[in-house]
Amino acid sequence: MTVLSPEPVQGAPTSELVLSMRGIDKNFGAVQALTAIDLDIYSGEVVALVGDNGAGKSTLIKILAGVHPKDGGTITDGDKSVTINNPAESGALGIATVYQDLALCDNLDVVANLFLGHELGRGTIDEVEMEKRSWELLRQLSARIPSVRIPVASLSGGQRQTVAIARSLIGDPRIVILDEPTAALGVAQTAEVLNLIERLRERGLAVVLISHNMADVQAVADRIVVLRLGRNNGEFKVADVTYEDIIAAITGASDNAVTRRAQARVGSPEAADDAVPPPDVAPPEEARP
């Protein structure tokens, strides 16, 4: 399939290919979860990975996250081929993943969650510096968090998602992968998270967004990669594609018999013939003697 390279978004840093996956295969026993998947990831770009339940989206990003090893295919970083055997190797390649369950520690405050495992200070933890950096980071992301010293349990769903995304930035990644970041959120909170995704792109990060919500995808993504039954099933620039085209690629509507018949009726020469009323139709009232 042809892989589109994105046109740089105005005002954004130039887009460069960061990571390239080619011919990725993965099976779980008898289940062939992924077959010959291609995915390119560019800096300063949001690529949406869409597809129906079981299409293979999570499996593909778990290969990038070092959760599952791939069975076939290659991953290249610039001109060198890389392997990702565990989450630490994924992190070392500059890949950060935010899973749907967020994995926050509810009883700890925002600062502690942001720096969990990356605490600042030698011997003693430098709380003042961590708090300062937390505010800086949240300000850069235009995040609305009332206090960084309250337990994350008391934050709203959108604020918790914001903290999880902000935490992924602490290791200074090149790629941020978000698995269904707006799935559990209301309208205003969704808008806040979409806004945050735009901030990530402005920072020149590559964002891989998994979503079932086409409105979110069309609002924030630059490019859409569709998976269907573990295979690539189309790639579109958001600017060039309609909602119907995306849904058709996700559901495989173009190879569905009902849709084929409907298209044939609209577009084929026989369809034009159909438009002429058959001879046994009664003529209009005024034409009668």
Residues forming contacts to Mg ion in the complex (CB under 5 A) are 58
56 part of the interface to ligand ATP, by CB under 6 A: yes
- The CA-based angle 57-62-66, given to 5 degrees, is 160
177 part of the interface to ligand ATP, by CB under 6 A: no
**In the bound complex, what is the minimum distance in angstroms from residue 75's beta carbon to ligand ATP?**
17
- CB-based burial, 14-40: b 16+ in 10 Å, e otherwise: ebebbbbbeebebeeeeeebbbebbbb
Helix locations, 44-119, DSSP H:
57-64, 87-92, 110-114
Number of residues that bind ligand ATP (CB under 6 A): 11
**In the bound complex, what is the minimum distance in angstroms from residue 33's beta carbon to ligand ATP?**
3
- The CA-based angle 179-184-185, given to 5 degrees, is 110
Please pick, from the candidates 18, 24, 46, 55, the single residue that binds ligand ATP as defined by CB under 6 A: 55
3-state secondary structure of 197: helix
**In the bound complex, what is the minimum distance in angstroms from residue 18's beta carbon to ligand ATP?**
22
97 part of the interface to ligand ATP, by CB under 6 A: no
* Binding site partner of 66, from ligand ATP, Mg ion, none, Cβ cut-off 5-8 A by kind: none
59 part of the interface to ligand ATP, by CB under 6 A: yes
CA distance 97 to 62: 9
Sheet holding 80-82, edge to edge: 31-42, 17-28, 72-77, 80-82
234 part of the interface to ligand ATP, by CB under 6 A: no
57 part of the interface to ligand ATP, by CB under 6 A: yes
* Binding site partner of 97, from Mg ion, ligand ATP, none, Cβ cut-off 5-8 A by kind: none
Which element (helix H / strand E) includes 189?
helix 187-202
DSSP string, 65-112: TTSS--SEEEEEETTEEE---SHHHHHHTTEEEE-TTTT--TTSBHHH
Binding letters toward ligand ATP, positions 11-50, x by CB under 6 A: -----------------x--x-x-----------------
101 part of the interface to ligand ATP, by CB under 6 A: no
Going by the DSSP 8-state scheme, the letter that residue 144 receives in this structure is -
- Cβ proximity to Mg ion, 58 vs 161, nearer residue: 58
**In the bound complex, what is the minimum distance in angstroms from residue 152's beta carbon to ligand ATP?**
24
Q: Which of 197, 166, 213 is nearest to 50 (CA)?
A: 213
**In the bound complex, what is the minimum distance in angstroms from residue 179's beta carbon to ligand ATP?**
8
3-state secondary structure of 102: coil
**In the bound complex, what is the minimum distance in angstroms from residue 232's beta carbon to ligand ATP?**
13
246 part of the interface to ligand ATP, by CB under 6 A: no
- CB-based burial, 189-201: b 16+ in 10 Å, e otherwise: bbebbbbbbbebb
* Binding site partner of 55, from ligand ATP, Mg ion, none, Cβ cut-off 5-8 A by kind: ligand ATP
Tokens representing 181 are 């970041």
* Binding site partner of 73, from Mg ion, ligand ATP, none, Cβ cut-off 5-8 A by kind: none
54 part of the interface to ligand ATP, by CB under 6 A: yes
Name the residues that contact ligand ATP, by CB under 6 A.
Answer: 28, 31, 33, 51, 53-59
